[in-house]
Amino acid sequence: MRQIVFGLPVVLSALVVAGACAPSNEAPNTGGHVVPSNGGSGATGGTGATAGSTSSGGAAATGGTSGAAGSTVGGASGTGGDGNISGSGGSSGSAGSGGGTGGPKPSAGCGKPAIQELGNYVAHTVAITGATLGEPDTHMSREIWVRLPANYDPNTPYRVVYQTVGCGASGTSGYPLWEEGQGGDPNAIYVGLSRPDPPPDPPSMSTCYDNRGGVDSIEWESLEKDHYFVRDNFCVDENKVYTGGYSSGGWMSNMYGCYFGGIDPARVFMPDVALRGALAVAGCWIDGNPPCSTQPVARIWVHDELDMAPNAYSCATEQRDRSLGQNGCTGGADGPTEVWEVPDGECVKYTACPAEYPVIFCTTQGRGHGASNDIAIPEFTKMMQEIEALTP
């Protein structure tokens, strides 16, 4: 395992420059809905007396947060988890909604001493197999950069955020979400994802992620292997897994927010992890990606009305509308909203969505293909903190 220490905080201005290398992609998809629940902290989601129609659930084995096959709750109408939060998920512990809520879920890395310096990015090489959802690939490894909190405690499960950048930018130049002065939260693990080497086709994508590969993209397996490495070596709360990115990285957030919704034993990659939320700034999407999950993911977009193809504003609105369906928001794009405070521009929060899985859309004017740090950092942090306050 190779390690490289980056000693200074990264200035994000490189991201704005990188935006000129935007990927050439486009357009929409749709998704279904399963409303999440908050059923307790147990490990399996049983039936009958375990989490059934009349009995109360105990603290350990009833209607757990992830269920034997990924459900948030156990029985058809019994009480879940700690015996006082109603269950509403699958009738027999089958794949449920959301997953990943109901209290900390410590990873295998908890209790292990840190294998790197604290407070700075350190590079690690992660093995992948070249598996995709389509044709096999030749990639055998990816590099990631892990930044632990300066006061990292190996016995505390932390939120983990996978950060993706614009074409041509360094994997360490993602949003400085640890900087409180910019509205970030230092008490989390941040992981910068590298772009693939060798680069994806066509040549115009050579400095970008493989975000136009569709089912043949290596990015599906790559996130799985990256997360498994991180959770095995560091103390991660598996109920607080997020992604956020700009430009080509924004495409990645749209891809991941679609595919990694909820716990899904049938999913090829990362079936045991539910993505809790995703930020996409100035990104888009292609139609060739795999079908979206029917389980919800909290989402926030920041996009300028003057951004142009292949990152046109219409791409963001299409992804917003898809996620409104995925999250089960009543009324879709025409549903009720409230103002979401933002320093420059207009953000709205769709209020007919599950509180734990909001959809927030920020429109800016006159910024073009900018990274919008002043909006993206505090608003993404605010969303994460608010939904975690509702369902820790």
The phi and psi torsions of 141 (rounded to 5 degrees) equal -160, 160
pLDDT along the chain (392 residues), means of 10: 40 34 36 33 35 34 34 32 34 41 90 97 96 94 96 98 94 93 96 90 85 95 98 98 97 98 97 98 96 97 96 97 97 94 78 97 94 95 96 88
**Parent domain of 223:** 5-35+106-390
Calpha distance 183→178 (Å, rounded): 8
User: Can you give the pLDDT at residue 366?
Assistant: 92
Amino acid at 182: Q
Residue 87 lies in a domain: no
Q: In this structure, is residue 331 part of a structural domain?
A: yes
Intra-chain end-to-end CA distance of the chain, in Å: 33
In a domain, 26, yes or no: yes
Q: Is 156 part of any domain?
A: yes
Helices vs. strands in the chain: H and E counts, helices first: 6, 13
Sign of CA dihedral 278, 284, 290, 296: positive
The answer to whether position 357 is within a domain reads yes
Secondary structure (3-state) at 179: coil
Q: Note the pLDDT of residue 95.
A: 34
Three-state DSSP string of 290-328: CCCCCCCCEEEEEEECCCCCCCCHHHHHHHHHHHHHHCC
Give the pLDDT score at 342.
63
Residue 93 included in any domain: no
CATH number at residue 340: 3.40.50.1820
Q: Looking at residue 209, what is its pLDDT?
A: 95
Asked whether residue 303 is domain-assigned, the answer is: yes
pLDDT at 344: 61
pLDDT at residue 38 in the model: 35
270 is a domain residue: yes
Closest Cα to residue 290, out of 348, 215, 233, 380? 215
In terms of Cα–Cα distance, which of 293, 244, 251, 254 is closest to 270?
293
Structurally, the chain folds into a number of domains equal to: 1
